[in-house]
Structure 1
């Protein structure tokens, strides 16, 4: 198993002067936490996509490799002004170089309970779709989520994704920012780029019509998206409460 971590964003809402993935939560950076947790569930290789503040991520790389004894590669996305789908595509050469049939994908500024990650890894192993997205049911365990900012998902009775976006009118799931993707997904991203569409959600929409975008429900565990100072504080509080 292998993981791509997107860490190219400009960090405009949490202006700390460093990539969000290097923000420290109770003596551990978000990036270090990702590597620790995903390695514990069997991930062997990590690919970090850098952009804004790339030199700071590069400087952190030796310590990350040493402290986690992990195989970590950093690839730089020079067009980090574009949306997150372009950063995913930057991992194409890494995936192809290592002959990966599929890979996991997450965002450098997301935080997961380790049990959440473990359950998604197990549940997604037996499915055969180009894209699998870990989703959560709105409820008590995610009441801290910023409803105006979270990406929402509407899924049908079989778990296939019908619609996705931050402003869709009806939804029954939250996008948690954790995916399992087949290598052929890069063809879908390329078709999106040809239409000047650069978000992950726009590529997901192209897979919906062919029933190749499926949700995987993982509920009852805590996760968060650290986008702004309020998110950062709520995440620290959740860690202090041993919910993350």
Structure 2
């Protein structure tokens, strides 16, 4: 199985810390490398990185990351990185056969999250999203989080940053099938901007968007200086499978 890591955006909220969010070091390890290492630990055999903003710089770093991680880490550029992130998902998914782990380059996870997520296959779903029921998790920025509303099965009924009622927060890790990119394309064809959440909502409306509860596992969206400081402090302790081997 492959992993698809989205690393095409501008990363404006972290610009005071780093001029390249995917290459921002967390306790000495670039975010993008942390993602690749975590994907490998979950059983991934190849990592596809979708690039856009500062693509040349990120792409130049990938051979060394690949060598350190021990799996192929390849790039694919999205045509217009200023468009919503669903366009990056489509671009990357076009290079992958079958299901794949979908990750954001600025999200990091304890090992058990991705390992468990990689096993969430099933004919009843087009995508499975890792979710955190701890809506008051102090590591979550409520002003930037993507929230999810669930039915009794634990399937998504609504997803977005501004939905009025919710049960959990989107952790930024997915086990995607080809249905996800198809759903984003369909949303674009309807006149939507092309965000990942719009594709997820289409799958939710069809009853095809499942979730996986991460329980008490640690994760962090490293999206601003506050989250960066938290990551610097906590990542070496929470990700021993990575930092203990460096």
Task: Give your verdict on TM over 0.5.
Answer: yes
Residues 18 and 53 of structure 1 are in contact (CA less than 8 Å); yes or no, is this contact kept in structure 2? Answer: no
Residues 226 and 235 of structure 1 are in contact (CA less than 8 Å); yes or no, is this contact kept in structure 2? Answer: yes
Larger CA deviation: 3-12 vs 188-197: 188-197
Residues 7 and 19 of structure 1 are in contact (CA less than 8 Å); yes or no, is this contact kept in structure 2? Answer: no
Is structure 2 residue 173 aligned with structure 1 residue 188? no
SS class of match (1:207):
helix
Gaps of 5+ in 2: 240-246
1:139-182: CA deviations, max 9, x gaps?
Answer: 67x32211111111111110110111111111111100001111
Is structure 2 residue 167 aligned with structure 1 residue 167? no
Is structure 2 residue 228 aligned with structure 1 residue 232? yes
- What is the distance in 2 between the residues matched to 1:223 and 1:127? 28
1:219-244: CA deviations, max 9, x gaps?
Answer: 1111111111111111112225x134
- What TM-score, normalized to structure 2? 0.91
- The alpha-carbon deviation at position 121 of structure 1 amounts to 2.2
- What is the distance in 1 between the residues matched to 2:195 and 2:78? 15
Residues 145 and 170 of structure 2 are in contact (CA less than 8 Å); yes or no, is this contact kept in structure 1? Answer: yes
Residues 21 and 109 of structure 1 are in contact (CA less than 8 Å); yes or no, is this contact kept in structure 2? Answer: yes
Residues 135 and 217 of structure 1 are in contact (CA less than 8 Å); yes or no, is this contact kept in structure 2? Answer: yes
Output the aligned Cα RMSD. 1.6
SS class of match (2:73):
strand
Number of the residue aligned with 1:154: 149
- What is the distance in 2 between the residues matched to 1:79 and 1:189? 16
Residues 135 and 169 of structure 2 are in contact (CA less than 8 Å); yes or no, is this contact kept in structure 1? Answer: no
Number of the residue aligned with 2:211: 215
Number of the residue aligned with 2:5: 5
Number of the residue aligned with 1:14: 14
- What is the distance in 1 between the residues matched to 2:142 and 2:94? 35
